[in-house]
Amino acid sequence: MREAEYEPVIGLEVHAQLLTRSKIYCDCPATFGAEPNTQVCPVCLGLPGALPVLNREAVSMALLMGLATKCTISPVSVFARKNYFYPDCPKNYQISMYDRPLCANGYIDIETDGETRRIRIERIHLEDDAGKLIHGEGGVSLVDFNRCGVPLIEIVTEPDIHSPAEAYVFLTNLRRLVRYLGICDGNMEEGSIRCDVNVSIRPVGSGTLGTRTEIKNLNSFKAVEAGIGTELERQERVLRSGGRIHQVTNLWDASKKRLIMMRTKEEAHDYRYFSEPDLPPLVVDRSWIDGVRERLPELPGERERRFIDQYHLSAYDAGVLCAERGVADYYEGVVSDVGEPKAASNWVMREVLEELKNPGSSIGEFPVKPEALAVLIRLVMDGMVSGTAGREVFKEMLRSGEGAPTVVERLGLRQVSEGDELEAAIDRVLDENPKEVERYRTGTTKLFAFFVGQVMKETGGKANPRVVSEILKVKLGD
């Protein structure tokens, strides 16, 4: 067993695209999906003489993330040029932050195997994204510069992660957090979140770190998990056969599930970082931070704990309901109208989330509003509609947009609980089954369920089974 001898040490560098309207250093739109090379200007193309001007909202969004991860906010941070030549970077440098980042020393707590683990955040800084390289036919690469200058935050963890699975959970938590904060849409397919990994192994109990390697091009959280697993196995094989680990960068090939070693590894001094002469130091004062703090929502982890305490939900239910802020808001909207937190949780988790699996549907535009679902739940709780009929009503509400009472009346799904109709139905059932009545009265009491079933059949499922049982007991002379 590997665990017996070596332990993995894993750190992540996550890039998240910020949801600003415009780019970080110019006013081109930062939106995804435009025709190639239509959202560019002299600044983001790095044309001579063009000067960057910082987007204030990008800073505020980075501060939101810093506050949400309990980071220390630096009163003065400094933009730095990271110099490199690559066709996706027309300026030939990235404007990033180096030795004086905006946020530092925070953490995110994650739950793995029922245990809380604190993953420390070393730093969060701002930078501009590069363009997008597409492999063209005939051995050329094609460049779309639209993405140049889209604001990014880079989140760097301490090497506190100790398994591929833990990396996966951390990233899931991080994604949930940026979506709660409304600063990133978390869409991996569109590259809104990207992750590089640093991996090393060391003998269990050793205080020193082994030589680390880097994995890039991880385009999904599952790829991160798989890439780390593959690299850990490779490193262990090398060390066991008496070899040495070299500091290299690997690319993950998702289709073949393997690592490809890149020829060279550029080190920090190769980038010739220096303070960005075109942007003054970034000064963030108390009032700016206070303003951002007011925008902080209740964070997902806190909300999950509150759902458990306040609504007495299971940890699992609370986790599912809080996975997305919109769903948690929806759930609380239902509960505030109808009470019944457990029933509301069942309805949201089963019916609403099931419906949201359909492509193109979103909780923000969900056709049945929380107030409308609350009315339906009330009808079911009061016995006006059976649980089964309730689900049918819900489907019809989704389809027609009508309220629950209208649908119930239109489809004749009102549960029969009282009155002559139900009495008459029960009498008919007893009249039509004299033999069973006789057997019941002479001791075959298990026939009771048969009578209930027959009454349900007679009423087309509209009878309230509890009321049917009560009346039957009287009529059968119990």
Partner 1 sequence: MQLSDEELGHLERLARLKLDGESREKLRGQLERIIEFVKQLQAVDTGRVTPGADTGTHEAFYREDGTGACLERSEVLGQAPETKSGMFSVPPVIETDDT
Using alpha carbons, select from 196, 123, 186 the residue that is nearest to residue 155. 123
| Of the residues 2, 72, 86, 109, which one makes contact with partner 1 according to CB under 8 A | 86
Work out whether 145 is an interface residue with partner 1 (CB under 8 A): yes
| Of the residues 13, 15, 27, 395, which one makes contact with partner 1 according to CB under 8 A | 27
| Of the residues 5, 42, 305, 478, which one makes contact with partner 1 according to CB under 8 A | 42
| Of the residues 13, 15, 50, 54, which one makes contact with partner 1 according to CB under 8 A | 54
Work out whether 136 is an interface residue with partner 1 (CB under 8 A): yes
Using alpha carbons, select from 232, 235, 257, 229 the residue that is nearest to residue 164. 229
Work out whether 434 is an interface residue with partner 1 (CB under 8 A): no
Work out whether 21 is an interface residue with partner 1 (CB under 8 A): yes
Alpha carbons 8 and 209: distance in angstroms, whole number: 10
Work out whether 135 is an interface residue with partner 1 (CB under 8 A): yes
Taking the least distance from each CB to partner 1, the nearer of 209 and 283 is: 283
Task: Count CA atoms closer than 13 A to 259's CA, side-chain side.
Answer: 23
| Of the residues 55, 94, 163, 345, which one makes contact with partner 1 according to CB under 8 A | 55
Sort residue 130 into left (φ over 0), alpha (ψ -120 to 50) or beta. beta
Alpha carbons 99 and 271: distance in angstroms, whole number: 13
Taking the least distance from each CB to partner 1, the nearer of 131 and 301 is: 131
Work out whether 282 is an interface residue with partner 1 (CB under 8 A): yes
Region binding partner 1 by CB under 8 A among candidate stretches 25-33, 223-231, 290-298, 345-353: 25-33
| Of the residues 109, 118, 142, 209, which one makes contact with partner 1 according to CB under 8 A | 142
Q: At what angle do helices 164-181 and 221-240 cross, to 10 degrees?
A: 150
Using alpha carbons, select from 312, 309, 295, 352 the residue that is nearest to residue 328. 352
User: Residue 142 has which token pair?
Assistant: 């094609």
Work out whether 263 is an interface residue with partner 1 (CB under 8 A): yes
Q: Which residues contact 397 (CB under 8 A, 6 or more apart)?
A: 367, 368, 372, 376, 403, 404, 407
Work out whether 39 is an interface residue with partner 1 (CB under 8 A): yes
Least CB distance from residue 3 to partner 1, whole Å? 31
Least CB distance from residue 258 to partner 1, whole Å? 9
Taking the least distance from each CB to partner 1, the nearer of 250 and 454 is: 250
| Of the residues 2, 75, 118, 141, which one makes contact with partner 1 according to CB under 8 A | 141
Work out whether 285 is an interface residue with partner 1 (CB under 8 A): no
Helix runs in 110-244, H state only: 164-181, 221-240
Using alpha carbons, select from 478, 418, 404, 407 the residue that is nearest to residue 448. 478
Work out whether 49 is an interface residue with partner 1 (CB under 8 A): no
Site for partner 1 in 332-351 (CB under 8 A): none
Q: Which residues contact 382 (CB under 8 A, 6 or more apart)?
A: none
Region binding partner 1 by CB under 8 A among candidate stretches 40-48, 168-176, 408-416, 430-438: 40-48
> Dihedral through CA 385, CA 386, CA 392, CA 394, nearest 10?
60
Least CB distance from residue 381 to partner 1, whole Å? 46
Handedness of CA 223, 229, 235, 241 (dihedral sign): negative
Using alpha carbons, select from 177, 68, 159, 74 the residue that is nearest to residue 120. 159
Three-state secondary structure call for residue 115: strand
Work out whether 204 is an interface residue with partner 1 (CB under 8 A): no
Alpha carbons 440 and 437: distance in angstroms, whole number: 5
Region binding partner 1 by CB under 8 A among candidate stretches 8-16, 80-88, 422-430, 440-448: 80-88
Count of residues touching partner 1 (by CB under 8 A): 56
Alpha carbons 437 and 322: distance in angstroms, whole number: 52
Work out whether 58 is an interface residue with partner 1 (CB under 8 A): yes
Least CB distance from residue 99 to partner 1, whole Å? 9
Number of CB atoms found within 10 A of residue 237's CB: 10
Work out whether 270 is an interface residue with partner 1 (CB under 8 A): yes
| Of the residues 204, 209, 260, 424, which one makes contact with partner 1 according to CB under 8 A | 260
Work out whether 100 is an interface residue with partner 1 (CB under 8 A): yes
Least CB distance from residue 295 to partner 1, whole Å? 14
Binding residues for partner 1 (CB under 8 A)? 20-22, 27-29, 35-42, 45, 47, 53-59, 76, 78, 84-87, 100, 133-136, 139-145, 251, 260-264, 266, 270, 275, 277, 279-283
